[in-house]
A and B are shown apart, each in its own frame.
Chain A
């Protein structure tokens, strides 16, 4: 592959515009390589976020040609359209500057969904034995690998329409803890995810599953939460 690529990058904060840059094409080149090339050769003030460059940390997610992606794991040849690339910050989050989205609302909702492990034992107690093939552990394992990249949050139209919606990642996290037999905070957690912006706000578009770089299925986790919150309500464990 040779020649030049026209890359439109979002510049500015929430109010900003796309600016075109001509970037040389390479045979193997990721979208993150493109952004780095622009920063090093065209404009050193370009702001963006990355860390590991190998799909481990989830910090380099951006919107590439309208689709949220990990830029470090996206080859340009797979996404380039008629010699052009349009790269913006993640959708549904405030923009700090250029390609760096403010992740604070995302992590605040993680806390609102009670995404923190609530221990039921102390360090003096013996280690809990958990059968890997138990139904609860299988359900937790299916959702546990989330690295909080925000791609699902950015792809979700329910997040866009409802500012209170906790979002796929936070609810997926709540589902993993709900299935962790060691956790002691599930009544509070079920109450937290059954509120107005909780699991019942999900429209089951499955965009989160479609876009998750780890092929997780937050919609299935949210469906599980819908069932568990309904059961808890019928048993009188949580109040409307």
Chain B
């Protein structure tokens, strides 16, 4: 079977990215709560975790996470606008803009920590 052509279109890929970024955030959420839980269980444990999180590789991962969060949020806002406001052409351009904005957020974070 040939690759179905509609799956190479920008808006189909935008939907895929939105779904995958949502899954990635769902996987991250337990770790986020774990870190928050450390703050309750003791200052020393939290301090040790925060020191661990200063490593460059962890910071890089945080930048990726921030990018994923931004792309998911901006993609969601685009869909909310599409479904609740008057129709606006150029949705593929808006989706691309969301990707560029998310990458800019991630790079700005990296620039601020290195």
Interface residues of A (CB under 8 A from B): 63, 65-67, 86, 88, 91, 155, 157, 203-207, 210-211, 217, 219-220, 223-224, 226-227
- Bound Cα distance A17, B46 (Å): 61
Which residues of B, 35-80, contact A by the 8 Å Cβ criterion? 79
B17 proximal to A (CB < 8 A): no
Query: How many inter-chain residue pairs (CB < 8 Å) link A and B?
Result: 52
Contact of A227 with B5 at beta-carbon distance under 8 Å, contacts A157-B12, A204-B79 already known: no
- Bound Cα distance A203, B78 (Å): 12
Closest to A223 in B: B83
Closest to B11 in A: A206
- Bound Cα distance A220, B7 (Å): 20
With beta carbons under 8 angstroms apart, the residue of B3, B9, B83 that contacts A226 is B83
Closest to B9 in A: A210
8 closest cross-chain pairs (CB), A and B: A67-B5, A66-B2, A207-B6, A220-B87, A66-B5, A206-B11, A155-B6, A205-B12
Cβ of A227 and Cβ of B83 under 8 Å apart?
Answer: yes
Cβ of B5 and Cβ of A205 under 8 Å apart?
Answer: no
Residues on B with beta carbons closer than 8 Å to the beta carbon of A88: 1
